[in-house]
Structure 1
Amino acid sequence: MDIEVVNPATGAVIGTVVAGTPADVDTAVAAAVAAFPAWSATSVDERVGVVRRIAEGLVERTAELAATMTAEMGTPLTFATKVQVPNPVGIANGVADVLEQGYFDGEEIGNSLVLREPIGVVAAITPWNFPLQQMVAKIVPALAAGNTVVLKPSELAPLTADLLASIVTASGVPEGVFSLVHGTGPVVGEALVSHPDVDMVSFTGSTKAGRRVSALAAETVKRVALELGGKSACVVLDDADLGRAVKIGVANAFMNNGQACSAWTRLLVPADRHDEALGLAVAAAAKYRPADPSDPTTRIGPAVSAAQRDRVVGYIRTGVEEGATLALGGPDAPLDQGSYVAPTVFGGVTTDMTIAREEIFGPVLSVMPYTDEDDAVRIANATIYGLAGAVFSADPDRALAVAKRLRAGQVDVNGGMFNTSAPFGGYRQSGNGREFGRFGLDEFCEVKSIQR
């Protein structure tokens, strides 16, 4: 059976891939098991070479990769070119840097030699919203650590996976070290997670799906790394430059068409400046006009699919029904064709509202008032998630102090830049484990102590 790939901006079918089966998973895992002894015994220098060649391949094929992601999942072409490809390049080179700095040299603790060793066969299950980044964030450190990998990409963004597979193959990995199996989560994903010869599962996706992965993997006591949902808060303190903070906050909330697990979808502002902040947010959001994502001037494209569009629109309707102030946008389609959602801003949002509690995964921003700093922290932490957050203040020390109080895996202070070598991951139901750099490598290694 074929899986059709649909351009969400037009509804046109732009390609197909063959849907895998449990038998295909068995074949790929068997090849990975067979290839593991030789690959795990390769030198660090050899594996560094493979990682560097993958990074070089990504750079060389930037235009093709960016255009493919734009076509199959609707990310704006400029965002794909400036973020969706460069971030994976930085991730790959960051992993190579860590290896070259002696990551596998071992450590002496008393009479013990402590070593890091590969886990074995890794199943990497990746999402559609940052397809290349999340594939690279799993495949590269897993291979660098000496593991073999079977990848199951999202069926909504499989063409990007095919391009990456060709780059990985060209990097010089032996047969069986890396395999790609297309398919759906319930068929291919669950077969991988349940497979007795898979030693680790690294999964990025929804919290609901992550719970299912954890339950299935527990049957064979696999290691599981999960990067799941988020409901991140951008806390604007009373001494901050409100205009700058709101502008950056809106840009973050709407990046990648609002389809980012780490997006700051809750904008927390002083209650006495709520209306001013709402006006600023509306003015900033109004500049994000839905349009053809392949146009380099487009800042926001469609939702990845009609189903995702309908899900987001449902949340917008719920926000209105529960009493939030609809300040911009709404449930009506902004264009005649495609899976577009109107960029939407709500004001007067409270913690009991659905739009303040659940991950929407679309261009929807909730402006929420707070009374004082402690109240802001309380609201920010009033969530089952804990992936990301932000703090803005004229006083960097004050901002840092508040950032430390937020229960989240990464917090940006005054617009701090994304770092592809710093650990990325969440607290609570945003998952467990970390990606990128040294901390990402740790996820794919066993630790052995040898007493002498």
Structure 2
Amino acid sequence: MTVVREPHLYVGGQWIAGGGTDSEVENPATEELAGVVTQASPAVVNLAVASANAAFDGWATTPVAERAAALRRLHEVITQRAERFAELITLEQGSPPPVARKLHVDTPLAVLAQTAEALGEFPFRSELGNSVILREPVGVVAAITPWNLPLHQIVVKVVPALAAGCTVVLKPAALTPLTAFELMRAFEAAEFPAGVINLVTGSGGDVGDQLTRNASVDHVSFTGSTPVGAQVAAAAAETIKGVTLELGGKSASVVLSDVDDALLAKAVKVTVANCYLNGGQTCTALSRLIVPNDRLPQVEELAAAASAKYVPGERLGPLISAGQRKEVESFLGSGEARVITGPVELPERGHYVTPTVYSGVDPDSRLAQEEIFGPVLVILSAESDDHAIAIANNSRYGLGGALWTGDPDHALEYAARIRTGQVDVNAAPFNPRAPFGGYKASGIGREIGDYGISDVLEIKAVQL
């Protein structure tokens, strides 16, 4: 296996020495060395922020049509290099190749295309009585991204910020930085102006914290765990800067009592697939399946059969690290509920865990309340539809969710009662222009499309 080596960072439109020590990147599917990446020294981090500030006025005043054209060029370059991006994601994140292409590359490409379209229609100027309302870019945005979706999570932060007229300093996750380097080459090929996008690497505790506290950074967009998100918000408050926080989730898939057998089977199949997607390492994973009491035996049989199709090392990828595997394993065999899935054979190498479905779960238990971030589904039973909604809302999180109903006429009524940022009804498709974000401990602000652009704008009233 060829080891990817990245000895330079992209700052101010140039590839420069990082100034820090090198860091190794592991392939979680094989536990072999995948890459060696330079780290940014504090001086280089400050240089990246200064470069973004120097480029801001020019980019902010670039006509909207030209910014949209630049995004379309970027879309074309990434499309041409899609297989390379998918290969890197499989290498550093462990995602099986089909998932790496469809989830990790095609989805952010759709978001990028829709953001460019949204930009052409965005109301940067409107009128209200004798006032002109101007929506202006906030300035320099620090984008701090996670390891579970190395390309997508960058795109949903960086692209709307650039569309808004902001400049960006990107810090990718230390576990999956290789994709970010390839993305910088795509920006370079798409001929973005120097300093508009900058790449620095390092740990969240060092480089991420430095960016967050830097007075010359105007907004921080962070995706990660809720505890770290709270730390980011507190650090950003020192310089009174805005934050976008996309944090944890414990999403519920709610099956109402009016579903027929066919829709019930679909609900279970889709919920298991969503829970296990990306090795269970998605913040929107449907990790709680809530069903009517009288359908529980049928649901258990369906869920066990669906889970058995996810073979580790084939359809199911690894967890990102040995540490993450240990954390997920701490939930397994806890004795809190019944395991309805059988044992599976795990590959000899790689950070794989057994995909597991629990039933008879107490809604207040650790299994039902904590974000596991692995292929673990819990089934809970409800006495009524109202009880099912109450169980769904019995969570500190509020990021995603699903609703299954045989009566489309009251779908919106029930979806509105679920306290989350998004709800998919009967497996409705992902909308790459709709807002994405959470309630409660799942975060602050919204990403993607028009809403991602709005999140990094200041609003000015000019009275005439």
Using the size of structure 2 for normalisation, the TM-score is 0.93
The answer as to 2:319 corresponding to 1:303 is yes
Distance 1:140 1:169 in 2: 14
- Which AA in structure 2 matches 1:65? F
RMSD: 1.2
Out of 279, 283, 291, which is 2:301 matched to? 279
Distance 2:30 2:91 in 1: 9
The answer as to 2:64 corresponding to 1:44 is yes
Distance 1:128 1:329 in 2: 30
Give the gaps of 5 or more residues in structure 2: 1-20
Distance 2:44 2:333 in 1: 42
**How many Å apart are 1:26 and its aligned residue?**
0.7
Distance 2:218 2:114 in 1: 25
Out of 418, 439, 444, which is 1:406 matched to? 418
Distance 1:10 1:333 in 2: 16
Distance 1:343 1:423 in 2: 31
In the TM superposition, what whole-angstrom CA distance separates every residue of 1:377-424 from its partner, at most 9, and x where no partner exists?
110000000000011111112332211110000000001111110001
Distance 1:275 1:193 in 2: 50
- Which AA in structure 2 matches 1:87? T
Runs ≥4 residues deviating over 3 A: none
- Give 1:92's aligned residue: 112
Query: Relative to structure 2, which stretch is displaced further, 281-290 or 395-404?
Result: 395-404
- Give 1:417's aligned residue: 429
Distance 2:96 2:247 in 1: 23
Distance 1:23 1:220 in 2: 20
- Give 2:347's aligned residue: 335
- Give 1:288's aligned residue: 310
- Which AA in structure 2 matches 1:15? G
Give the gaps of 5 or more residues in structure 1: 292-297
Which secondary structure state, in structure 1, belongs to the residue aligned with residue 229 of structure 2?
helix
Distance 1:374 1:350 in 2: 17
Distance 2:122 2:141 in 1: 23
Distance 2:163 2:295 in 1: 50
- Which AA in structure 2 matches 1:111? N
The answer as to 2:222 corresponding to 1:209 is no
Out of 31, 34, 47, which is 1:14 matched to? 34
Out of 276, 290, 294, which is 1:268 matched to? 290
The answer as to 2:401 corresponding to 1:385 is no
Distance 1:138 1:273 in 2: 41
Out of 262, 265, 271, which is 1:243 matched to? 265
- Which AA in structure 2 matches 1:447? I
In the TM superposition, what whole-angstrom CA distance separates every residue of 1:42-80 from its partner, at most 9, and x where no partner exists?
111111111111111111111110111111111121111
Distance 1:207 1:377 in 2: 23
Out of 83, 86, 103, which is 1:66 matched to? 86
In the TM superposition, what whole-angstrom CA distance separates every residue of 1:274-324 from its partner, at most 9, and x where no partner exists?
122111101001000011xxxxxx321100111111110111233x2xx21
**How many Å apart are 1:21 and its aligned residue?**
2.4
Distance 1:246 1:209 in 2: 33
Report 1:180-199 matches (<5 A): 180-199=199-218
Report 1:136-175 matches (<5 A): 136-175=155-194
- Give 2:364's aligned residue: 352
- Give 2:9's aligned residue: none
Distance 1:314 1:24 in 2: 39
Q: Does structure 2 conserve the Cα–Cα contact (< 8 Å) formed by 1:21 and 1:187?
A: no
- Give 2:337's aligned residue: 324
Q: Does structure 2 conserve the Cα–Cα contact (< 8 Å) formed by 1:333 and 1:340?
A: no
**How many Å apart are 1:175 and its aligned residue?**
1.4
Distance 2:444 2:193 in 1: 31
Distance 2:163 2:83 in 1: 26
Which secondary structure state, in structure 2, belongs to the residue aligned with residue 315 of structure 1?
coil
Query: Relative to structure 2, which stretch is displaced further, 10-19 or 92-101?
Result: 92-101
Which secondary structure state, in structure 1, belongs to the residue aligned with residue 380 of structure 2?
strand
Distance 1:81 1:46 in 2: 29
Q: Does structure 2 conserve the Cα–Cα contact (< 8 Å) formed by 1:333 and 1:341?
A: no
The answer as to 2:70 corresponding to 1:54 is no
Distance 1:35 1:242 in 2: 54
Distance 2:108 2:352 in 1: 27
Using the size of structure 1 for normalisation, the TM-score is 0.96
Q: Does structure 1 conserve the Cα–Cα contact (< 8 Å) formed by 2:122 and 2:450?
A: no
Which secondary structure state, in structure 2, belongs to the residue aligned with residue 246 of structure 1?
helix
**How many Å apart are 1:14 and its aligned residue?**
1.1
**How many Å apart are 1:36 and its aligned residue?**
1.1
- Which AA in structure 2 matches 1:188? V
